Structure 1
C-alpha cells in the first residue's frame, strides 16, 4: 500500500460582524448584531494517482474547482415529440416524456464524458441576526441565521417527482409529463428507469438558500423587593422556543433545508420553560 498526500488547496474567506447598542432610555434598551461570512476553496494541485477519488472525468479535472463541487449531467428539458427524440444524440433509454441530457462534448452520444461541474455546495454567504431587548423587568432575545447563494443536491426531488414501486409518492407526480401536459418539467411516470434518471444531474440541484429563526426567548426578572422577601438574590422566569420556522426556496421539497441527507433526522421545533435562581 502506498500513501500519498491528497489535493493542495487554496482557501479564502472573510467574516464581518456589526453591532449596535442603544442605551437604556425610558426603561428600554436593545442591541442588534448582524454578522456575515464567506468561504471559498479551490484545488490547485492534485496528484494523478488520487484523481479518481475526486469529482471529474478523463476530460475535466477538479483542479481549479472547489473540493465540494457537484459533478454530473446537464439536463435540457423533456422530450415532447418523437422528432425531438430522433434528432437528439444517442442517449440510451431516451423517449417521449423522458429527461433530455446535453451532449456537452459534441460526439453525438450521452456518456460519462458529458458530465460537468454544476456548482458547489458551499453558500456564497452565511449570515446571522441577533436582537436583544430589555424593557423594565422584561427581556427578549431573538436569533436567526441562514445561507444565501447555495446550490444543493436535493434527494427529496426524487421522492417527490418519481414513482418508486409500492412506496408512497409525492405530489409532484400529479404534474408529471403527459401528452395533455406537455409543458411539464417532471418526466412521465414510469416504474422502470431505462433513461437512468437517478443519475447525478442538475435536475436534482435546487436553490438551497434558507433563513431559520433558531431561538426566541422571553423572560421576566422579579423586583428586588420581592426576591428579598423569599430570601433570593435574583429570580427570573422565561419561555424559550427553538427552531420555530424557516424560509426556503419553492424548489426545496424536503422537511429541513439545513439537512439535505435523507438519513438525517430534521431538527425539531421545541418550546421550554425555565427558572433562573440566584441564592
Structure 2
C-alpha cells in the first residue's frame, strides 16, 4: 500500500486493521493534582490542549512529546474496529419421541464501537436527551477524578472533552441466543380420518438472550454507536399442517 508519508509512525494505516480508527489516548481528568501526576508519569508537563484546562476536562497523552496536542498525537494503535476479529455460531437440536428442539447461538469478540451521539450530555445542540448513565458517570468534583467515566459537561470545552479518543471506545463483544424452537408432532387418529398427513405445533422465540457489556444498543449492529430503535424480542406460536 502506497501511503502518504506521515509525521509519526502511529499515524499510518499500513500494517494495521482495516478501518482502524485515529484517536487520542485518554490519560485522565484534570484536577489540582493532574500536573504533578502527569509530570511524574511522563517526565514532562501536560501538553497545551489549545484551551485552559479546567477541573474535569479530559487530558490526552502527548505522544510525540512536543508540548502541544494536535493531530500528530492521534494514533491507530488503540483497540479494535467495528468489524469483529472473531465470529462464531452454533446450531444444535434433537428429536425425542414426538418432540423436537433446535437453537442457534451467535457471538463475536475483539470488536469495539466508538460512541458518537452518546458522548455528550444533551447532545451537540444542548437540547437532546440527558441519559441516566451520563448523569451518574459524569465528572462533578475532584472526588470523581478516579471514578468518573466521562468528563465534566461543557459546551465551551466540547471540542476537547468529546474529541475522538479511547475514552469513548467501548467493547462490543457479545454472545447471543438468536433463536429457540420447540415443536410437537401430532399423530392423533382423527387427523388421518381428515387426510392430514402431518401436523406440527411449535413455539419459537428470537433474540431471547444477549450476554454483553455493551449498553448502548445492539452490539451486533454497526449502527449501535448512535440512537436507534432497540432490538426486539419476538415470540411465535404456530401450527403446520400437511395434507
TM-score band, normalised by the shorter chain? 0.7 to 0.9
Mapped partners of 2:206, 2:226: distance in 1: 22
1:119 corresponding residue in structure 2: 79
CA displacement at 1:221 relative to structure 2: 0.6
Asked if the contact 2:196–2:241 (Cα under 8 Å) also holds between the matched residues in 1, the reply is yes
* 1:136 Cα deviation from its structure 2 partner: 1.2
Per the TM alignment, residue 255 of structure 1 is displaced from its structure 2 partner at its CA by 2.3
* TM-score (normalised: structure 1): 0.72
Query: C-alpha offsets along residues 3-27 of structure 1, whole Å, 9 cap, x if unaligned?
Result: xxxxxxxxxxxxxxxxxxxxxxxxx
SS in 2 for 1:81: coil
- Of the candidates 51, 74, 82, which is equivalent to residue 25 of structure 2? 74
Residue in 2 that maps onto 1:46: 2
Aligned to 2:127: 166
1:147 aligns with 2:105: no
After superposition, the Cα gap between the structure-2 partners of 1:261 and 1:174, relative to the gap in structure 1 and judged at 3 Å, is closer
1:216-227 aligned within 5 A: 216-223=180-187, 225-227=189-191
Comparing 227-236 with 177-186, greater Cα deviation is found at 177-186
Residues 1:105 and 2:64 aligned together: yes
- TM score, norm. by length of structure 2: 0.82
Shift of the alpha carbon at 1:150?
1.7
1:8-87 → structure 2 map (5 Å cutoff): 45-46=1-2, 48=4, 58-59=7-8, 60-81=11-32, 84=35, 87=45
Q: Which has the higher contact order (CA 8 A, sep 6+)?
A: 2
Q: Which residue of 1 aligns with 2:144?
A: 181
| Equivalent residue number for residue 50 of structure 2 | 92
1:143 touches 1:216 (CA, 8 Å); kept in 2? yes
Q: Structure 2 stretches of 5 or more lacking a match?
A: 40-44
- Superposed CA offset, 1:106-125 (max 9, x none): 11100000010123323232
**Residues 90 and 246 from structure 1, CA distance in 2 versus in 1: closer, same or farther, beyond 3 angstroms?**
same
User: Residue by residue, what CA displacement relative to the aligned partner does 1:201-249 show, whole Å, maximum 9, x if unpaired?
Assistant: 1111111100111101111111263431221111111111111121111
1:273 paired residue among 234, 237, 242: 237
- Structure 1 residue 145, shift from structure 2 partner: 0.4
Q: In structure 2, how many angstroms separate the alpha carbons of the residues matched to 1:156 and 1:253?
A: 14
| Structure 1 unaligned spans of 5+ | 1-44, 52-56
Deviations 1:85-140 (A, max 9, x none): 99311112322211101100111100000010123323232111222021211111
Matched residue count: 224
Note if contact 2:79-2:169 (Cα within 8 Å) is conserved in structure 1.
no
- Contact 1:82 1:96 survives alignment (8 Å): no
The 5 A counterparts of 1:194-209 are 194-209=158-173
Q: Tell me which protein shows more strand as a share of its residues.
A: 1
| Alignment equivalent of 1:135, drawn from 82, 96, 114 | 96
Go from structure 1 to structure 2 and tell me whether the alpha carbon gap of 1:120 and 1:83 turns closer, same or farther (over 3 Å shift).
Answer: closer
